[in-house]
């Protein structure tokens, strides 16, 4: 087993709960980013107050993320292009808010 394939434990936190997940060293950063995105989605769903229970929130977040991925795939957009587009939209929204305050 090469160093690249060596599994390392990674600590992540989702909705205030700690999890330890094993992944290869070269996937650790991507896993952390995915956990952060999932946590953000789940918090957003929880904060709407329309979905109760961590299991239901997790299912809704997974459904939303899968839907977004399918939309990107149907438009023949790579995941990185889709994420870049989403980040650009977010930056634009933040700039608009800052300009109007």
What CATH number does residue 61 fall under?
3.30.160.880
Which band of pLDDT confidence, cut at 50, 70 and 90, is reported for residue 71? confident
Structure tokens at 14: 């989702």
Q: What is the pTM of this model?
A: 0.65
Gap between the Cα atoms of 13 and 44, Å rounded = 15
User: pLDDT tens, 36-68?
Assistant: 999 999 999 999 988 989 899 999 999 988 888
Structural domain count, the chain: 1
- Domain carrying residue 60: 3-99
Judge whether residue 72 has pLDDT over 80: no
């Amino acid at each position: 087993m090469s160093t690249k394939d060596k599994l390392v434990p990674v600590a992540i936190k989702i909705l205030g709960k700690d999890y330890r997940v094993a992944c290869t060293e070269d996937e650790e950063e991507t896993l952390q980013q995915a956990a952060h995105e999932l946590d953000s989605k789940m918090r957003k769903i929880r904060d709407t107050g329309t979905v109760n229970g961590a299991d239901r929130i997790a299912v809704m977040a997974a459904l939303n993320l899968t839907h977004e991925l399918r939309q990107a795939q149907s438009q023949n957009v790579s995941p990185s292009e889709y994420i870049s587009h989403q980040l650009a939209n977010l930056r634009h929204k933040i700039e608009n808010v800052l300009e109007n305050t």
